[in-house]
Amino acid sequence: MQRMRILLQRKDSGLYFKDVDSWTGDPAEAMDFVSSTTALEFCAVNKLDTVQVVLKFENEKYEIVLPDALPQPRDAARPRLTA
């Protein structure tokens, strides 16, 4: 079975989250989150809104990038839809 790692990557630089205030270009050094939910909660708590979730597989040929997985701040100019 192929192992999958769940990483956070800065959209602007492509660097991966390693530790608080520490980013790396090497995905092997990046923090591996237990689940995508944990990664998203970490982003919310730490106000990281310029990152994307990357699902990286052992076989380096395969990765899935979720660029819009993080909730975006609500635009005050955009009307809210109500039920």
* One pLDDT digit (tens) per residue for the chain, 83 residues: 668 999 999 999 999 999 988 999 999 999 999 999 999 999 999 998 899 999 998 776 778 888 776 665 555 455 555 54
**Is residue 73 situated within a structural domain?**
no
Look at residue 81 in the predicted model and tell me its pLDDT: 55
Look at residue 82 in the predicted model and tell me its pLDDT: 53
**Is residue 80 situated within a structural domain?**
no
Distance CA 43, CA 28 (A): 20
**Is residue 76 situated within a structural domain?**
no
**Is residue 83 situated within a structural domain?**
no
**Is residue 33 situated within a structural domain?**
yes
Give residue 55's domain range: 4-66
Total domains present in the chain: 1
Look at residue 76 in the predicted model and tell me its pLDDT: 47
pTM of the predicted model, to two decimals? 0.77
- The residues near 56 (Cβ < 8 Å, ≥ 6 apart) are 4, 5, 6, 7, 27, 62, 63
Look at residue 72 in the predicted model and tell me its pLDDT: 58
**Is residue 9 situated within a structural domain?**
yes
